Amino acid sequence: MNKSAFYLLAGVAVILAGCTMAPKYTQPKPPVPAAWPAGTAYQGTQPAADMPDAGPLRWRDFFTDEKLQQVIATALTNNRDLRIAALNVEFARAEYGIQRGDLLPAVNATGLMLKQHIPPNVQGFPESLTIKSYSANLGVASWEIDFFGRIRSLKDAALEQYLASEQARRSAQILLVSSVAGAHLALAADRESLALAETTLAAQQGTFNMIRRRHDLGLSADLDVQRAQSQVEGARRDIASFQQLIAQDENALNLLAGSTIPENLLPNRLDGIAPLKELSAGLPSDVLMRRPDVLEAEDMLKAANADIGAARAAFFPQITLTGALGSSSSDLTGLFKSGSGAWNYAPQIVLPVFDARTWAAHKATKVQQEIAVAQYEKAIQSAFRDVADALAMRGTVDQQARAQQSLVDAVAETYRLSNTRYNMGIDNYLSVLDAQRSLYAAQQGLVSLRLAKLSSQVRLYAALGGGWDK
């Protein structure tokens, strides 16, 4: 075989390697409505003209609070889960490089010294022989020529898995950003609730002292003293509970950030955090197509589609080529002299006749592709629900907060009147006790609703696919 024939064969192999037996990919139709849900719970969720879209909105533009920005930036740098996700991307990229490398021949340079002793009357020689030879070659060993696209299909599958790992990293970043923001807001709410409990304890302690003095003067009953003391102890219990929650919030935030957050970056109250941006939900088709988890599921579906091509190619002949070009001599000094040239080639074809595993593998890849379709459709449905739930929260939480504020104002006035009537001797202390409990519960409920409003904004931002850019 001369060089021109060798290069011709290699060129034909490269051209034919572009063939693939994978079925043509068709994107499944999204199994969700073309518009977001509508109804009483979604009133007020229609986007205004100046509302930004969450997709291109950077997280620094959505989270405008400087302290929160620093905490999120720290987490993006130090969080171990995000670091693992990034390393998984690098691993998948290396795996793709390995699979792609199988399309090209592995060229090796070899040097060989052979010395062999042959006894008499062996191989037709009456006397013993000692044979010594030297050779140096440049060649390929068992290079599979990808006529039917088996290796190319495996390469395409590895590429899609690599792209899926990148989308998984983006999903991990969205989750991290939203989790850090949620933990930051929860800490602010618990610290605000602690301050409210401490203020309530101070007021109840003052009331208790006053009632005890009245009791000493014979103006209050023993029952009033016990009721006032029960309020004081209940507030002390709440303070201890909120102190525990705050410590746990700080631990969770430190874990997410991957390091200890300085005290000057921690919030004290919800109203001390800069407002978040209001977002437009856009259209489901636009939102779902940019969410990393949906894109990841689609990449895995494409990978399963490519695996079918590799399984189909296993039914066809497998052609490999081994060849070398170099020099050979019985003496080391004559190895590279004129006339020492040597070459060899050994093409091989394997024709599959019967192998039950081939049919089973083909069926397995088709089932795996059907599973990937179902997972892709489920990812779209889950994404649709995430956005719909966030929109429902945004459409109702403002009404709840306004109603809760009105409740706080009404209960505060009830408490003021009950306290006045008790001091005037018109009512017993039980009415004051009930009003005080109702006011404290209403105030704590208002803090919870304000937290829910901010958390719903964060959830909507994440559900709309924002937060994975740096």
CATH class, domain 12-103+147-316+356-463, is mainly alpha
Decide if 331 contacts 134 (C-beta within 8 A): yes
**Which parts of 269-424 are beta strand (E)?**
318-329, 341-350
Pairwise CA distance, residues 119 & 132, whole Å: 15
Residue with tokens 């009950």: 418
Domain with CATH 1.20.1600.10 in the chain: 12-103+147-316+356-463
Single out the residue of 116, 65, 81 nearest to residue 256, CA to CA. Answer: 81
322: which strand partners?
Answer: 346
Domain with CATH 2.20.200.10 in the chain: 106-145+318-351
The secondary structure of residue 265, as a DSSP letter, is G
pLDDT in tens, the chain (470 residues): 455 545 545 555 554 445 678 888 899 998 988 888 888 888 766 665 567 766 678 899 899 999 999 999 999 999 999 899 989 999 898 988 888 888 888 888 888 888 888 788 776 777 887 878 878 888 888 888 888 888 888 888 999 999 999 999 999 999 999 999 999 999 999 999 999 999 888 888 887 787 788 777 776 677 777 877 888 888 899 999 999 999 999 999 999 999 999 999 999 999 999 999 888 877 787 788 888 999 999 999 999 999 999 898 888 888 888 888 888 877 777 777 777 788 888 888 888 888 888 899 899 999 999 999 999 999 999 999 998 998 888 888 888 999 999 999 998 898 888 878 877 777 776 777 778 888 888 999 999 999 999 999 999 999 888 877 65
The secondary structure of residue 366, as a DSSP letter, is H
Single out the residue of 286, 263, 355, 283 nearest to residue 318, CA to CA. Answer: 355
The secondary structure of residue 268, as a DSSP letter, is S
Decide if 160 contacts 300 (C-beta within 8 A): yes
Task: Return the ∠ at Cα 297 (arms to 296 and 301), rounded to 5°.
Answer: 115
CATH number of 106-145+318-351: 2.20.200.10
Helix (H) or strand (E) holding 160: helix 150-216
| Alpha helices (H) in 217-291, listed in sequence order | 222-257, 284-290
Task: Name the phi and psi angles at 69, rounded to 5.
Answer: -60, -40
Residue with tokens 């006529």: 147
